[in-house]
Amino acid sequence: MTSTQRSFLLSQTRDWTPLEVVEIATEVVPAAASSGRPIIEVEHLRKSFRQADQQVVALDDISFQVEPGEIFGVMGLSGAGKSTLIRCINLLERPDGGVIRVAGEEITRLRGPALMAARRRIGMIFQQFNLMASRTVAANVAFPLEIAGWPRSRIRQRVATLLELVGLSDRANAYPNQLSGGQKQRVGIARALAPEPVVLLSDEATSALDPETTLSVLGLLRRINREMGLTILMITHEMQVIREVCHRVGVIDHGRLVEVGPVSQVFSRPQSPMARRLLRAHLSNDVPADLLARPRSDGRQLVRLTFLGEVAEQPIVAQLVRELPVLVNVLYGRIDRLGGQPWGRLVVELSGPPAAVASACARLRREGVEVEELGVPEPATIQQAGANGLGKDRDEQDEANEQSQLAEPVPGVAARADVRGGAA
């Protein structure tokens, strides 16, 4: 690891807590050497709050690990417990029970000066920037180092290095009210990095930014992670943030961690109801509403196809049209990168004999493509569902439909095959 890895984001606002003030005055401690163990370890974490006459459980038996050098995301709906979790990790909120280790040190056992020193290894980026309005950009970044007693010459050198890193060298003498939201967050990032943390915590750092600025800030965090080897733990309710920068993700729901895994796995094959709900909302935002409202009927099926990894680079749809009597009308599509792998989504309308459409869906699934039926069922389709055997297990019904299709050629198929052969 390089020398730029450690401490707590220093903020000066009217909302300062006593803990934050104490942290600012704490001397910077050297980073612990890497031991090959997880950089963050959380075991059976519990936290509750008293509200009126009832006890509200915010975190319920949370356990997970963050490996050195990774970007780990925690996502969930508002009120799920994300912010409480991140504030427990730096002990701004003391948990009711459980163990938290950062760089091998069990910080839940610490008190007083020892706890203050441990917090110095943990940088923090906040949603609302928390910059000091009376200080310039350079002075904001320098503030934690001044409190820590760094020599002025070393402070100037450090500040210059960090402002160059975040792309604000030309704004060193500007004040916060002269900056855009994205620039303010970059100052916050530089200040969090100033005392060289071993871990950087990000609490909804991009939720107050516009989409273009969000991508810019995420790109900066990705660069910091890559070039400095800095471990980043970020919480967010934005699926795009997780998709863009995280290596692994945890899903939190009503204070419980319901799923943890690589981003590609959680996005492509979510196991928990909450992960599926978040992903469904994210994908629905991808697709124009008028497409989702299209009616479907026998012989015409609107589906979303999701491809991940090698299957996204294969001509599966073209092969489908060549081998089965179906037409594929592509209505919408996009390809992104997910966990370093291509991730494609297509919304298509399949049309043809009902058995052929069902056979096409079955074949796509066997090829590793996720197939989700979309559109609004027509009343007749709903009434006939039982008669057509649609209550069967999906795989069983797909197999039966395909066998039926293969056994009963559809008139016109041979002619269509001849036309394709001639065109080839």
Please give the pLDDT value at position 173. 95
Query: 């356990």: which residue's tokens?
Result: 63
Please give the pLDDT value at position 186. 94
**Low pLDDT (below 50) residues in the chain:** 1-34, 379-424
Please give the pLDDT value at position 397. 45
Hey, which residues does 50 pair with through a beta bridge?
A: 55
Please give the pLDDT value at position 284. 63
Spatial separation of the C-alpha atoms in residues 402 and 399, rounded to whole Å = 5
Please give the pLDDT value at position 154. 94
Positive or negative, the CA dihedral 190, 191, 192, 198 is positive
Tens digits of per-residue pLDDT, 57-106? 999 999 999 999 999 999 998 889 999 999 999 899 999 999 999 999 99
Please give the pLDDT value at position 86. 92
CA distance to 33, 127, 240, per residue, from 145 (Å): 22, 22, 34
- Return the CATH number of the domain spanning residue range 18-277: 3.40.50.300
CATH 3.40.50.300 domain span(s) along the chain: 18-277
Q: Which two tokens stand for residue 34?
A: 């890497």
CATH 3.30.70.260 domain span(s) along the chain: 287-423
By DSSP bridging, strand 122-125 and strand 199-203 are parallel
Please give the pLDDT value at position 85. 94
Answer whether 76's CB lies under 8 Å from 260's CB: no
Please give the pLDDT value at position 394. 42
Q: Which two tokens stand for residue 247?
A: 């290596």
Q: Which CATH superfamily is 287-423 part of?
A: ACT domain (3.30.70.260)
Please give the pLDDT value at position 407. 41
